[in-house]
Amino acid sequence: MKQYTMKLDNTRQRPVVILNNGLTALLDTGAYIPVWTDDEEILISELGAELVRKDVPLSGFGGCTQGNMYKVNIDIGGILYPNMHLIANNDINATFNLILSATMFAGLIYQIDTVNHMLNIEIPDGESNVRNLRIVNEEGKVFVLCSAVEI
């Protein structure tokens, strides 16, 4: 097994991960898709994101809204997500840049260590640190969000 460890911001009550590039991300164990909560211009200019589709519906416990879907290559503590899709919404009032969805860590073992302020992720043997975001809907249909094709 390979292990990856990232620091959590010890000033916050929720698990906010400090990423290598200075960004911060909330780990949301109930989220399906990652959400960019900061200015979309930062996502485009600093992370090289490409717009895929405008006005994509997004819902959660806070209600329903819309955002723009982008694809971006992102490194989460050494775990690589090429062409990962995320939804950007400038209207979310958050003190972090990104929401990491639980679906990003499917097939991995993760531990939120609130004592030592760490996020520990283990990649089992046979699994790669290069990941694709997989989402399965209620009917069991699988969406692999690594390209513009759904299977």
pLDDT, tens digit, 9 for 90 and up, residues 13-36? 999 999 988 899 999 998 889 999
pLDDT at 134: 78
Q: Is the per-residue pLDDT at 124 higher than 60?
A: yes
Structure tokens at 110: 């993760």
Residue 143: predicted pLDDT: 64
Rounded to a whole number of angstroms, the distance between the first and last alpha carbons of the chain is 29
Res. 144: pLDDT tops 90: no
Q: How confident is the model at residue 136 (pLDDT cuts 50, 70, 90)?
A: confident
Extract the tokens encoding 58.
Answer: 């997004």
Domain ranges of the chain: 2-145
Residue 135, pLDDT > 80, answer: no
Structure tokens at 39: 């200015």
Residue 91: what pLDDT?
83
Global pTM reads 0.87
Q: 18 pairs with which residues across the strands?
A: 24
HSE, side-chain direction, 13 A CA sphere, residue 110: 23
Determine which helix (DSSP H) or strand (DSSP E) holds 45, and give its type and residue range: helix 40-47
Domain 2-145: homologous superfamily in CATH: Acid Proteases (2.40.70.10)
Query: What tens digit of pLDDT does each residue of 51-95 get?
Result: 999 999 887 767 788 999 999 999 999 999 999 999 998 888 899
Assess whether pLDDT exceeds 80 at residue 146. Answer: no
Number of helical H runs and strand E runs in the chain:
1, 12
User: CA 120, 124, 129, 133 torsion: positive or negative?
Assistant: negative
From the number of C-beta atoms within 10 Å of its C-beta (0-12, 13-18, 19+), residue 10 rates as exposed
Closest CA to 38 of 94, 87, 81: 94
User: Strands (DSSP E) along 8-97, which ranges?
Assistant: 16-18, 24-28, 35-36, 50-60, 63-76, 79-88
